[in-house]
Each structure stands twice: as structure tokens, then as C-alpha cells.
Amino acid sequence: MTTTDTTAALAATGPLVCAECGDQDANGYVVTILDTADPKHTRTEVCTDCHAALAA
């Protein structure tokens, strides 16, 4: 998988929404795509604030 594949897969699945707090306008997100062939069903994202809280 290349960065281009990941970027294209992410763009194809729609807007980012934090799975923890629901924020759609965060400054950054941590995104996990398990399968770039099916990103809509294998993508999860959390905003960087929630990611930091979960990591603590």
C-alpha cells in the first residue's frame, strides 16, 4: 500500500468523523484503514484530542 492508495481510499469514503466524540471539524485525525480495497467498511478515525486521551 502506498500513501497515494491510502489518500485515495480515504477521500473515497467521505468526511472524517471522530469515533469517540463525533467531531467533524478537528484539526487532525488518526485514521486506520484495514483494507484499501474496501475503505468504507474498514475505516475508523479518532480526532487527535481523543487519540491522546485514549493513549494516556
Summarize pLDDT for 10-48 with one digit per residue, the tens: 777 788 899 999 999 999 999 888 888 888 888 899 999
Task: Please tell me the predicted confidence (pLDDT) of residue 54.
Answer: 94
Which triple of cell numbers denotes residue 35?
483494507
**Total structural domains in the chain?**
1
Instruction: Provide the domain limits for residue 26.
Output: 3-55
User: What pLDDT is recorded for position 1?
Assistant: 53
Instruction: Place 53 in a pLDDT band, splitting at 50, 70 and 90.
Output: very high
pLDDT at res. 10: 74
C-beta separation of 6 from 36 below 8 A = yes
